[in-house]
Structure 1
Amino acid sequence: MTAPAVVGLKRATFTLLAGGLAAQAIPLALGPWLTRLYTPAEFGLYHLFAAVAANLAVVACARYEFALPMARDDEEATALRALCLWLLAGCTLLSTVGGVAWAVGIGHPWPLWLPLAVAALGAVSLATLLATREQRFKALAAGRVLQHGGGAVAQAAAGVAQLGIAGLIAAPLLAALATAALLRLRLRGWLEVGRPRLRDAARRHKEFPLLNTPHAFAGALQDTLAVSLVAATLGPAAAGFWGLTLRYLKAPATLVGGAVSQALYPRLAAAGEGRATAAGRADVRRVMLSLAVVATPLVLALWVAAPWAFARVFGPQWQGAGELARALAVYIGVHFVASPLAVVTMAWNAQAWALKLALVGQGVFVLSLAAGLAWGGLRGAGWAVSAGMALYFGWYFWRLATWPVVSA
């Protein structure tokens, strides 16, 4: 049996978009309450932990889960699932060692949540790609609501209970585990898959650990380094401003980009068989143009009203986050357009090129951030990141729009 027939791009996108809208609406609505239940410093520590956990979880399955939509049949998909679970178990074990060392180093127990965070986030990623292969878009939409909306509700409850940083960390992890269960991450039978089948699956899709894994790790490392650099330079409260600002400003990209990429990836993978076609490139151009039309008013609104809006919504102590939001507006706009496009180079078998370009982009980001912090503190960092990343993403968009295609 092969994967289901490709569902229409618009239909799939709107199904995922509806679920994503609810998933983002809940934490956005609860945000003003959360900023009054937790201090900027607590948010700073939480965002540092979350960045480290995401950095590990994004490569916990060596990115083999992203090969699932390309699996030739159910037997190969089963082998890939088993391979991912073995790798996730090993990464979780290593994260336990890291979490203990971190906790001992800082003299505080909250880093001990690290292995659970890696396991939960890795399980959600695997379950999501299994559901994407099977094109269970309604389940994916419901899972996004549970993970993001449920995590925010749980954080609010933990704040009322005055659980502090532990509540901020534990709440979204429990929501992630519930999401993996909702998406029917099957654990039966993975220990029974023989080594020859595991080796065959690993060898056939070796470009994912060799090329996409360092790409994904470096991308997540960018967030980890950013939060760490801000915290080391300006303190935990400034890291809280940075984390909160990016969390809310990237919410539209998470909402729209996640829906578009989950619908676009199987379409490109099925049509091109590892190559770019004229129809696929046309789909990518339409996606970029449509997202740019949506991003432009977002950038303008941040320039005009971000400081006032952040102080009004989150409280006067968060006005500094609004000033940062204004400075980051251009970066947020280009990131919004770029967010769903990572799957394009996967489908077009261009992961080596994407890795090289991404490493350049991450270097531009970190260097811009460091220079901006030295030049003008948090606001200087925002303006510098916007300038550097506008140049980088402009080149990226042009290359995808003019990508060489093969004849049908």
Structure 2
Amino acid sequence: MLRATLTLLTGGALAQMVPLLLGPALARLFGPEAFGLFTAFSTIAASVAVVACARYEYALPMAQDDAEATALLALALRIGLAVTLLSVPLAWALHVAGRLPVAWALPLSVAAAGLLQVFSLWANRAEAYRSLAASRFVQYAGAALLQTALGLAIWRAGRGQAAGADAAWALVLGPVVAVLLAALWLARRAPPGGWRALWQVPAAALRGVARRYRDFPLLNTPHAFLGTLQDALAVALLIAWSGEAAAGFWGLALRYLKAPATLVGSAVSQALYPRLTQSAPAEAQRAVRQTMAVLALPALGLMALLALAGPRLFEWAFGAPWRDAGELARALAPYIAAHFVAAPLAVVTMAWHGQRWAFRLALVGQAVFLLCLAWGLWTGGLLRGAWAVSAGMVIYFGYYFWRLAHWPHIPARGAAAGEARA
């Protein structure tokens, strides 16, 4: 597990280094309003893309043999195609309602993200960690490079002026193209018989895996959707009560604050998930506890750094107009530290058949997040909202960590994958 994590972490570190280094340039090429619209689009696109394949792709590492895995892959891709087509009228409706900037990019974003997610879990089943690391580099580094190139073109055309809200399309297009390229990179690992063979999988086999792994669409899909919907509603609250610039500060701050969790969490979860599905209960419990303990150390260091120097760091890196984002980072520091530890642990309840419990708890967490943010915005503005979020979410995550550390029913190795015990 350590070897796999380090392989993924190395690729992820290289991938994250490029956008982190180019971030100050992007903050000078694009204004807060453009980042605000980009954040609004990203949260809506993520809310749709996260359910693009009904989460059946997450069952791929649990499939008992290649035939079952191939049927799951075929089912996930069929559902992804249907959701992509449905996103076209959805994009039009949201655009007409004034809720979705750059509406034309929504179907492209959903299709690219769905393909990347499916191919990533297919590679994860094969433990192709080097390919996964390379795809992450293409995804993150490619997005930042494309955004920077488009921003420079707009900056030159505007004679040195930072791009405003009308240039948000450039921030949107870069990640969409990069995600598609990352998916194509992973698509080189074809299933038995090639990709065309997936369209020849019998309907009976599709129905069989759909029933066997029905907890993923029934429980994990609404869980994941509500998680991304939380971000979309948070941005909507910020725009409604504080304006697009506030949403831009929020989006930039969370983009950088959650980057370590994305980097480490993705690597740890991709290495941890197959191990939990294959380990004896005592070994699995020990792995989860050790993972939480190891992640807590850098999380506390990150929180201390943001609390002491958050505003100065953001002003130095992005310029004086972005100091408010640093103040926001300081207020969100406790929440970010807890999220850093929690990020890779979502796969634990999948492996331990605890998706029902995780879904119920997630509903509570999302309500806490939004209520704390709304109360803070209403009573004291953006910073009070951020401090309220930190206070509420630290309590929520504390219970979550305790429950995973004392999970009562860990399934024995080889137990039925589709069974739910919690």
Q: Taking structure 1 as the reference length, what is the TM-score of the superposition?
A: 0.95
Q: What CA deviation, in whole Å up to 9, does each residue of 1:20-46 have, x standing for no partner?
A: 101111100000000011110000000
- Aligned mate of 1:81, from 73, 76, 84: 73
1 CA distance for matches of 2:100 and 2:229?
A: 23
User: What is the CA deviation profile of residues 327-349 of structure 1, one whole-angstrom value per residue up to 9, with x for unaligned ones?
Assistant: 00000000000000000000000
| SS across alignment from 1:311 | helix
**Matched residue, 1:138:** 130
- Tell whether 2:291 aligns with 1:299: no
Residues in 2 aligned to 1:107 and 1:376: alpha-carbon distance in whole angstroms: 26
Report deviation, 1:109: 7.0
Candidates 223, 226, 231, aligned match of 2:239 = 231
- Partner letter of residue 312 of structure 1? W
Residue matched to 1:3: none
Aligned-residue offset at 1:270: 1.5
SS in 2 for 1:328: helix
Structure 2 vs 1, CA of residues 108 and 222 (structure 1 numbering), >3 Å: closer, same or farther? closer
State the AA in 2 paired with 1:69: P
> 1:308 — aligned with what?
312
Return the alpha-carbon distance in structure 1 between the equivalents of residues 208 and 407 of structure 2.
31
The one of 40, 47, 55 aligned to 1:63: 55
* Cα distance in 2, alignment partners of residues 109 and 362 from structure 1: 25
Instruction: Please report how far the alpha carbon of residue 403 of structure 1 lies from its aligned counterpart in structure 2 after TM superposition.
Output: 1.1
**SS of equivalent to 2:408:** coil
Residue aligning to 1:171: 174
Q: What does 1:156-235 align with in structure 2 at a 5 Å threshold? A: 156-162=148-154, 164-184=167-187, 186=190, 187-235=195-243
Q: Provide the secondary structure at the position in 2 that maps to 1:106.
A: coil
CA distance in 2, matches of 1:104, 1:124: 29
Decide whether the 8 Å contact of 1:278 with 1:405 is kept in 2.
Answer: no
Measure, in 2, the Cα distance between the counterparts of 1:331 and 1:55: 21
Task: Decide whether the 8 Å contact of 1:16 with 1:259 is kept in 2.
Answer: yes
* Paired residues for 1:391-406 under 5 Å: 391-405=395-409
TM-score normalised by the chain length of structure 2: 0.92
Q: Which residue of 1 aligns with 2:368?
A: 364
The more displaced of 124-133 and 102-111 is 102-111
Aligned in 2, Cα 1:107/1:123: closer, same or farther, shift over 3 Å? Answer: closer
Segments of structure 1 that go 5 or more residues without pairing to the other structure are 1-8
Alignment of 1:7-406 (within 5 A): 9-106=1-98, 110-162=102-154, 164-184=167-187, 186=190, 187-272=195-280, 277-405=281-409
Once the two structures are TM-superposed, the CA of residue 229 in structure 1 deviates from its matched residue by: 1.0
Structure 1 moving runs of 4+ over 3 Å: 104-109, 405-408
Distance 1:116 1:388 in 2: 36
Task: Give 2:418's aligned residue.
Answer: none
Counterparts of 1:372 and 1:27, CA distance in 2: 31
Partner of 1:5: none
Distance 2:230 2:290 in 1: 28
Give deviations 1:152-180, integer Å, cap 9, x for gaps. 00000010121821111111111001001
AA aligned to 1:404 is P
Cα distance in 1, alignment partners of residues 220 and 406 from structure 2: 22
Q: What SS is found at the alignment partner of 1:210?
A: helix
CA distance in 2, matches of 1:331, 1:225: 18
Conserved? CA contact 2:37–2:101, under 8 Å = no
Measure how far apart 1:105 and its partner are: 3.4
Q: How much does 1:112 deviate? A: 1.2
Contact 2:143–2:177, Cα closer than 8 Å, also in 1: yes
State how far apart, in whole Å, the 2-side matches of 1:392 and 1:258 are.
22
Q: Where does residue 419 of structure 2 map in the other structure?
A: none
Alignment check: 8 A CA contact 1:329 1:386 kept:
yes
Unaligned runs of 5+ in 2: 155-162, 414-422
- Identity value in percent: 55
AA in 2 matched with 1:123:
L
Give, as a single letter, the amino acid of the residue that structure 1 aligns with 2:286: A
The separation in 2 between residues aligned to 1:27 and 1:107, in whole angstroms, is: 27
Deviation at 1:188, TM superposition (A): 2.2
Three-state SS of the structure 2 residue aligned to 1:60 is coil
Matched residue count: 396
Deviation at 1:98, TM superposition (A): 1.1
Give distance in 1, aligned partners of 2:218 and 2:285: 25
Per-residue CA deviations over 1:203-262 (Å, capped at 9, x if unaligned) read 110110011111101111111111111111111110000000000000000000000000
Secondary structure in 2 matching 1:342? helix
- 1-side partners of 2:306 and 2:380: how far apart? 19
Checking the alignment, whether the CA contact within 8 Å between 1:16 and 1:137 is kept in structure 2 is: yes
Supply the AA of the counterpart residue of 2:67. Answer: E
**2:160 aligned partner:** none
Structure-2 separation of matches of 1:109 and 1:241: 18
Contact 1:281 1:405 in 2 (8 A): no
Contact 1:103 1:112 in 2 (8 A): no
Superposition deviation, residue 140 in structure 1? 0.4
